[in-house]
Amino acid sequence: MSGPRPADSDGHWLRVAMRDSFDEISVLGVQSFGLIEMNRAAQENLQYCPQDLCRMQLPDIAPDLDVERMQLLLDGLRASEGGAVDLETRLVRKDGSAYPVQVRFVLCKDQEPPALLMICKDQSAGQAASAALGQIEARFHAIVSNTPGLVYQLRRMPDNTMAFPYLSDACHALLGICPERLHADPGLFTALILPADRASYLASMQASAEEVRSWNWDGRLWIEEWKDIKWINLRAMPRVLPDGGIQWEGIMTNITQSKLEQTEIMRSREQLAELSAHIERVKEEERTRIAREIHDDRGGNLTAIKMALALLRRRLPDDPALTDKADYVDSLVDRTIESIHRISVDLRPSILDFGIVAAIEWQAAEFEKQLGIPCHVASSDSDIDLPPEQASALFRIFQESLNNISKHARASSVQVRLNRNQRGIRMEISDNGTGIAARDRQKPASFGIRGMIERANALGGSLSVSNLPKGGSMVAIRIPLPAASGRFNTTVKQAKKSSHE
């Protein structure tokens, strides 16, 4: 503090207030507007010592408040009843830097001589915050204006009423409703949702609110303005409000085109699956026809030739050359019959007529006999009812699995499990070999696994290939049970009975 103090008997309270205040408080003379006294907050901010201040006037620290302007202000204070005036100006520090202040001038009329009290609030932090907020808002609006969707806030009050505190300018382009209408009537948005999708919208909102987790919903809206249905994706993050309500901030985007493309892709995949199933069915039918034709026609002819050849041999003269020739032809016929039998089995094993379990066990035995690798089959049922199409497909998958094991696995044993339950049939083929690497499954020419998957999908089932924890791999196939399986079971049993007879 410096300079003479106001001559009042009650000045003690003023000095205490000035000392303890965070505001900058100065006492000015009403004649020359000289600085009589200044509290510590003002001294520190203006960077002046008490000795400097006692020789200074108000315009020295407030250039905008010259003597003429201050005289007018003082005249106004004398004429007013309240004796206070507020204004904004800037103060200049000793180093030349300036800062904005909010100033209140109070005329102390009861003082002798009268004094002018100047109370200043530094506005630097507030203006800096306002400038920073302005920059943030400018960046936010720039981001929102370039976002391909509707940026919004949705608030649900404790009484379950809804409000949209914020809607970006894309509101009309997406929903066909201007933001003002949606602000006034938030229920318009729910009314846009098709009745079939409204329940899932409300359920996903409730789940997001209860668990305070992200909200992600796809649904259809009826846009009245364009008489059109539009798919939208809604993504938002919730936060709990102090009053117990929930507010989501997020974005809505138009996903109509991607949904149409997704539908078209699914339709194309379904058509491809149907075509693949049809090709496999035609292939199996053709294999069956060729196998039966070879077995019945060619096999019958060769049997007749062998019988005729046996008759001719008995009537041949005792000529070693002719006997050798007849023996050669006889062995040639035997080899041809064996070849026809092998080709017929490869085309369609007749063992399939006795059921899938019998066919799997037979193929496992053939695999073990040819490669010397033990192949054990365990089945929950001795008979599993399957129509010919499903039995053939499951059998072909099993054959391809064994073929892959023989070529790539380097296994020493194979385990096959075939189970039936109420949901369907599950077959697992596992080995103790080297397993299968992920890159091998993605090879462009990996048609074996791809073909097995397509066969399983065509049956309405699924197929997976995985590595086992202790080494080796497992192929797991699941297919649904066919309808009216009892009738097929009777057919299988009748075929077995006829074969035994």
pLDDT in tens, 464-497: 999 998 889 999 999 988 664 444 444 444 444 4
Residue 355 and residue 329 share a domain: no
| Greater model confidence, 345 or 279 | 279
Residue 369 and residue 333 share a domain: no
Please name which of 330, 363, 368 lies closest in space to residue 348, comparing C-alpha atoms. 363
* In contact, 362 and 349? CB cutoff 8 Å: yes
Instruction: Say if 6 falls within a structural domain.
Output: no
Compute the residue count for the chain. 501
| b/e per residue 152-173 (b: at least 16 CB within 10 A) | bebbbeeeeeeebeebbebbbe
The string of pLDDT tens digits covering residues 243-264 is: 999 999 999 999 999 998 988 9
The string of pLDDT tens digits covering residues 354-377 is: 889 999 999 999 999 999 999 999
Instruction: Say if 4 falls within a structural domain.
Output: no
Residue 494 and residue 382 share a domain: yes
Instruction: Say if 420 falls within a structural domain.
Output: yes
Rounded to an integer, the average pLDDT of 196-205 is 96
The string of pLDDT tens digits covering residues 142-173 is: 777 777 899 999 999 999 999 999 999 899 99
Q: What percent of the chain has a predicted confidence (pLDDT) above 90?
A: 37
Residue 250 and residue 268 share a domain: no
Taking the C-alpha atoms of residue 172 and residue 251, their distance in angstroms, rounded to an integer, is 14
Residue 326 and residue 466 share a domain: no
Residue 415 and residue 380 share a domain: yes
Taking the C-alpha atoms of residue 382 and residue 74, their distance in angstroms, rounded to an integer, is 113
Residue 459 and residue 364 share a domain: yes
Taking the C-alpha atoms of residue 238 and residue 394, their distance in angstroms, rounded to an integer, is 49
3-state secondary structure of 336: helix
The burial of 95, by beta-carbon neighbours within 10 Å (0-12 exposed, 13-18 middle, 19 or more buried), is given as exposed
CATH (domain of 246): 3.30.450.20
Instruction: Say if 142 falls within a structural domain.
Output: no
The string of pLDDT tens digits covering residues 88-143 is: 999 999 999 999 999 999 888 776 778 888 999 988 888 888 878 888 777 877 77
Q: What is the model's pTM?
A: 0.50
Instruction: Say if 339 falls within a structural domain.
Output: yes
Cα-based distances in Å from 92 to 51, 59, 102, 117: 17, 10, 14, 19
Give the per-residue pLDDT at 12. Answer: 54
Average predicted confidence (pLDDT) for the chain = 84
* In contact, 378 and 426? CB cutoff 8 Å: no
Q: Partners of 479 in the beta sheet?
A: 425
Evaluate if residue 352 carries a pLDDT over 90: no
Instruction: Say if 3 falls within a structural domain.
Output: no
* In contact, 337 and 306? CB cutoff 8 Å: yes
| Greater model confidence, 431 or 84 | 431
Which residues constitute the domain of residue 241?
Answer: 149-254
Domain count, the chain: 4
Residue 427 and residue 372 share a domain: yes
Instruction: Say if 133 falls within a structural domain.
Output: no
| Single residue among 311, 346, 381 that ends a domain in this structure | 346
Give the per-residue pLDDT at 222. Answer: 94
Give the per-residue pLDDT at 360. Answer: 92
Residue 43 and residue 25 share a domain: yes
Instruction: Say if 48 falls within a structural domain.
Output: yes
